[in-house]
Chains A and B, each alone.
Chain A
Amino acid sequence: MNASLKIAVALLISLEISFTKSISLNIALIVCAIIYLLFKQVNWKLMLYSIFLPILPAFGSWSSLYFYGTGDHVHMAFVLFTRIFAYIWIGSCFTFTTNIDELLKSLEQNFRLPNTFVYGVLAAFNFLPRIAQEVKTIRLAARMRGEVLHFYSPQIFFKAILTSFNWSNNLAQAMRSHGFAEGERRTHYHVIKIPTWNWLAAAAILIAVQAFLFMSPFN
């Protein structure tokens, strides 16, 4: 499915389950997401990651409501427990099968996002591994001077901002010198079109969720 449509559907469904209180819908969504990911033959290590990652936050939410809530708090505790797993697995359907390249290109070509944003964001996201390295470097450099930087130290953020400032200047200059012009029309080597069945599938998924919500005998 087209990347923009996929993330839109994922966002709409997760927004909906933020407000509904149906355990069965959450479970059904998790099952569908797992089937989809199996069908897409996603790496099993990533799948395991999605199973274990939400356990702590899910258990945290469950126990908070179970022990401290009032009213129908037992039901809500289980709603939240399944909701967090649903969030993770719906998210995985997007993050494990699509990359940011596809998403931004589709947003540019299909939804007319200005190219300054498309290529600016893309350029920055290509620095993701270097940013991970930079955070380590900042902390190590401070430790060499005998300072330990925590997440609440203004210095670590200050250094990060300085780096962003330098890199953004260099990157913007480099892009311009390679012929990037803001706001100009571009031609595309890789043309992205959204096939009709994508729209139909997106609508079908959203309708199925509503139908399940109203017709399911379980809550």
Chain B
Amino acid sequence: MQATKKSSGWHLRDVIMLTLIAIFFGFIFWIWAFAYDAVAATPLKPFANDITLGAWIMAGPLAGYLLRKAGASFLGEFLAAFAEMIIGSQWGVSTLLSGLIQGIGGELGFALTGYKKWNGLSLVLSTLTSTIVTFGYDLYASGYASYSFGMLIVLFVIRFLSIGFFGGVLVAAITKLIDKAGILNR
């Protein structure tokens, strides 16, 4: 392996790794869409989006944590969305838009720490910014502006829990496994 750990530039290996992870996530997202459909087929319909959303934002924080570079989180999320669209997403080109928005949301959390902290704090910040940014987008894109204020609060809390679980707890569990395996030798 080349001595690329400390460098902030992007090397071929980083790009390939990021894209491979993104494609893995693309597949997992693609399968996850059927979970959304399963929830959408029950009376929980209006909550389907927010209950399942967390899984879709996972690629960002994980990529950020793995590569520890500015932009890694955004690119990981965006490429995963691109992979999902290529595989054949039920949301078509809006997958890419969501990837863009979710990527920005996740990246902001890491940016707030100035890309200096890669720990629980930056993950929590990342889940928080993801929730706020994606919710703001859905006010327009998914017609959330037509819901009552009470409903919006409920949706926001559900979304934060979902993102908190997938983008926070689960990502932390995965990174713990990775650290224990010692493959990133930092």
A interface residue numbers (CB < 8 A to B): 10-11, 14-15, 18-19, 49-50, 53-54, 56-57, 59-61, 63-65, 67-73, 76-77, 79-80, 84, 87-92, 94-95, 100, 114, 116-117, 119-121, 123-125, 127-128, 131-132, 134-135, 151-152, 154-158, 160-165, 167-169, 171-172, 175-176, 180, 182
Contacts and interface: CB of A to CB of B under 8 A. Distances in A.
B86 A151 contact: no
B16 A84 contact: no
Interface in B39-92: 40-41, 45-46, 48-49, 55, 58, 62, 66, 79, 83, 85-92
Residue of A100, A114, A116, A119 contacting most chain B CB atoms (<10 Å): A116
Contact of B92 (A15, A54, A135): A54
A36 to B, nearest CB: 14
B21 interface: yes
B45 A116 contact: no
B153 interface: no
Residue of B31, B66, B146 contacting most chain A CB atoms (<10 Å): B146
Given A60-B40, A95-B85, A135-B24, A182 B12 contact: yes
A80 B91 CA distance: 12
A169 B1 contact: yes
Given A92-B92, A123-B19, 5 more contacts: A14-B94, A54-B92, A124-B16, A135-B28, A157-B170
Interface of B: 1, 10-17, 19-24, 27-28, 31-33, 35-37, 40-41, 45-46, 48-49, 55, 58, 62, 66, 79, 83, 85-97, 137, 140-143, 146-148, 151, 166, 170, 173-174, 176-178, 181, 183
Given A60-B40, A120-B16, A54 B177 contact: no
A172 B12 contact: yes
Contacts of B148: 70
A95 B86 contact: yes
Given A72-B146, A87-B92, A56 B40 contact: yes
A76 B11 contact: no
Contacts of A134: 24
A72 B147 CA distance: 10
A111 to B, nearest CB: 16
A154 B86 CA distance: 25
Interface secondary structure of A, over-half rule: helix
A168 B13 CA distance: 6
B112 to A, nearest CB: 25
B91 A168 contact: no
A158 B12 contact: no
B88 A154 contact: no
Residue of B15, B31, B36 contacting most chain A CB atoms (<10 Å): B15
Contacts of A87: 91-94
Given A15-B97, A60-B37, A60-B48, A124 B140 contact: no
